[in-house]
Amino acid sequence: MCGIVGYTGKRAAMPVLISGLKKLEYRGYDSAGIALSGESGIIVRKQSGKVSGLSDLVDGEKDTLSLSHSGIAHTRWATHGPPTTLNAHPHEGNEGRVVLVHNGIIENHNALRERFKSAGHVFKSETDSEVLAHLVEVNYDGDLLAAVKKSLKEVDGTYGITCMVKDEPGVLVVARSGSPIVIGLGEDETIVASDASAIITYTRQAIYLDDNDIARIEGSKVDIESLDSGAVTRATSEIDWSPDAAEKGGYEHYMLKEVFEQPEAIRNTIRGRIDLNRGTAILSGLNLTPRELVDIQRLLIVGCGTSMNAGLIGEYAVEDFAAIPAEVEQAAEFRYRNPIVGSRDLVLAISQSGETADTLAAVREAVDKGTLVAALVNVVGSTIARETGRGIYLHAGPEVSVASTKAFTSQVSVLLMIALKIARAHRLSREKGIQIAKEIQRLPELVQQVLDCNDKIAEVAKHYADYNNAFYIGRGYMFPVALEGALKLKEISYIHAEGYHSAELKHGPIALLEESMPVIALLNQGPGQDKTLSNVAECKARNAPVLGVITKGDEEARKTCDHVIEIPACPQYTAVVPAAVALQLFSYHVARIRGCAIDQPRNLAKSVTVE
Ligand code: F6R
């Protein structure tokens, strides 16, 4: 996820900005840049790669650059355009007078870009953020605050920005809408950042901006206004994080941080991709017309691990909504078994990293077989994204924790949208499409409701932390969730866990049921719930402890279980997301109680680039 730092005060700005960027490295990024304001104008230095590279670059010009007492800096995680030096922030206006750094997405950037191009502007990057820099410069008439205010009223989307102009050295203008900005109040100085980790070396006094706030900052003078009204006052808070927690945005582990980022990650994934009016999804990266979509007779989904589990949910959704066959295949199996693919198949490769060796090889096999191949990838510019050239980025932000969490729920969100889009090209009515689209839009809120139960889930986890084995059971859409729940538990807590279709228990695994074999049952309301309830009764009859993931307020299901975790009521096809989040939190707390190395589980790597 991108990071912002800004400084105005008495010190040399450069070392403060570079140290701030280093503190934000934990967020993940692929390029970095800095802009320093001085007597002779604004100097911008940026490059793809690590902050250390940028630091070496500016160090070579230390004598000049250290004279500057205000500046802005950024770490970029590519969304619009690959991770190149030109796409790195800060971005400049057409005449290089205005410079800004931006987190978020400007949704109407294409329209603005066209407008400026016809006025003769030249763009250096492919980013939406550069368009905003051009806009502020066009609106600048001697007052940076007024120019930014005017510009933000013309944009749609989300932003956290920090902006400077050549004519007002020492002045920073910051604003937020949907992407955080914190203002660190020092003595004779102010440090702004997208997250408090970058400021706590200098001060623990901070103001967190609200959405629609905009502030003009000069030295230690901070004036905050609302975009819609005049001056506003925001409370100052004391940051009490430990330095270690600060590296993870205040969370004890990256995994927990990423679990909690899910409402925002899913919001970013679905933003601009739902057309409520037409009851469909807008997935331009797929690059398929409705005519071409209707020609697709089968979807073949390939991936590994968590990505494959997400694919299984996609299989259910495609068959459910679109009534065309979908199959999921482990990517290694696909690559080696000379798969049968036809000209009317669409192969969909799913990979968070976009680098997984088996998934990449499966993509190459499908390309060689001459079929349509699309990718669903999180990391922009990754090999799978480049080699397919057709696909959908998750926009979930960087995932640092080895255990994949937010990538999974973002993958599922995209798969639901793909299923909806294919379905609308086939037989799904507009009315039904609108209904599904509305349910997809509820996902961030459904996840938030589960996150709000974190303390309760931590309590429940205490009852299950001492077992050596566990079964996860579910049916229908909840079967892949059982597989994913078991995978999460085993990889971070080292408890042996297996996911089964509820009906499969009787065909062997039931032999293992006894008081030392807990069963985690996906029991939320929906088709098949009664059957799984019967399976749970069979488990209880063999003294197995049962933890149920149930629909909020379902007293019947609650009575059947020893412990429950509640998820909000919603259709099964979206319930997979809050249910998976509940199981992520459960695994996290079990692993924490057992003292496991949650972010770096033994024997595992974040990106499996070998077979
Ligand atoms: C589990 C996990 C792995 C990955 C798998 C595929 O938490 O992270 O199972 O899902 O290695 O990785 P990607 O999605 O990068 O292809």
- With a 6 Å cutoff on the Cβ, whether 383 touches ligand 1 is no
Q: Which residues pair with 80 in a beta bridge?
A: none
Q: Report how far ligand 1's centroid is from the alpha carbon of 414 (Å).
A: 17
With residue 596 as reference, give the H or E element that holds it. Answer: none
Q: Which residues contact 14 (CB under 8 A, 6 or more apart)?
A: 34, 36, 58, 62, 65, 66, 68, 71
Residue 606 falls in the annotated catalytic set:
yes
Ligand 1 near 574 CB (within 6 A): no
Cα distances from 593 to residues 454, 498, 565, in angstroms, run 14, 20, 18
User: What's the gap in Å between 78 CA and the centre of ligand 1?
Assistant: 20
In degrees and rounded to multiples of 5, residue 271 shows phi and psi of -55, 130
Residue of minimum CA distance from atom 5 in ligand 1: 305
- In a 3-state reduction of DSSP, which class is residue 285? helix
CA of 307 to the centre of ligand 1 (A): 6
Q: Is 411 in the pocket of ligand 1 (CB under 6 A)?
A: no
**One of 2, 453, 539, 596 is an active-site residue; which one?**
2
Q: Which of 353, 481, 598, 599 to mutate to test the pocket of ligand 1 (most atoms within 8 A of CB)?
A: 353
pLDDT score, position 610:
65
pLDDT score recorded for residue 196: 81
Q: How far apart (Å, rounded) are the C-alpha atoms in residues 523 and 520?
A: 9
The residue from 150, 432, 540, 606 that is catalytic is: 606
Mutate which of 254, 258, 302, 304 to test ligand 1's pocket (most atoms within 8 Å of Cβ)? 304
Rg (CA), the chain: 25
Which H or E element spans position 578? Answer: helix 572-593
Q: Is 596 a catalytic residue?
A: no
In this structure, the residue with its CA closest to atom 8 of ligand 1 is 404
Q: How far is it, in rounded angstroms, from Cα 212 to Cα 210? A: 6
**Residue 403 CA: which ligand 1 atom is closest?**
7
C-alpha to C-alpha distance for 338 and 366, rounded to whole angstroms: 10
- Looking from the CA of residue 305, the nearest atom of ligand 1 is 9
**Residue ID of nearest Cα to ligand 1 atom 3:** 305
Using a 6 Å cutoff on CB, does residue 305 contact ligand 1?
yes
Beta bridge partners of 391: 375
Is the alpha carbon torsion for 394, 451, 442, 182 positive or negative? negative
Pocket test for ligand 1, best of 312, 356, 387 (most atoms within 8 A of CB): 356
- What does the pLDDT read at residue 320? 97
- Counting every residue, how long is the chain? 611
Which atom of ligand 1 is closest in space to residue 408's alpha carbon?
A: 10
Quick one: tokens of 386?
Answer: 């480049």
Q: What are 390's two structure tokens?
A: 């057709």
Q: Which pTM was predicted?
A: 0.78
CA distance 31 to 2: 9
Nearest-CA residue for ligand 1 atom 10 is 306
Write out the E strands in 178-303: 182-185, 189-193, 205-208, 213-218, 221-226, 237-238, 274-275, 280-281, 298-303
306 lines ligand 1 (CB under 6 A): yes
Q: For residues 568 and 552, is the Cβ–Cβ distance under 8 A?
A: yes
Residue 95, amino acid: E
**pLDDT for the residue 243:** 60
Closest CA to 182 of 166, 169, 194: 194
Ligand 1 nearest atom to the CA of residue 303, by list position: 16
Profile the chain (611 residues) by mean pLDDT over runs of 10 residues.
Answer: 91 95 82 91 94 93 89 90 92 97 92 96 95 98 97 93 96 91 95 89 90 95 93 86 69 94 94 96 92 93 98 98 96 93 95 92 94 92 85 88 95 98 95 98 98 98 98 98 98 97 94 97 95 95 97 96 98 98 98 92 73 62
Closest among 314, 262, 321 to 446, alpha carbons compared: 262
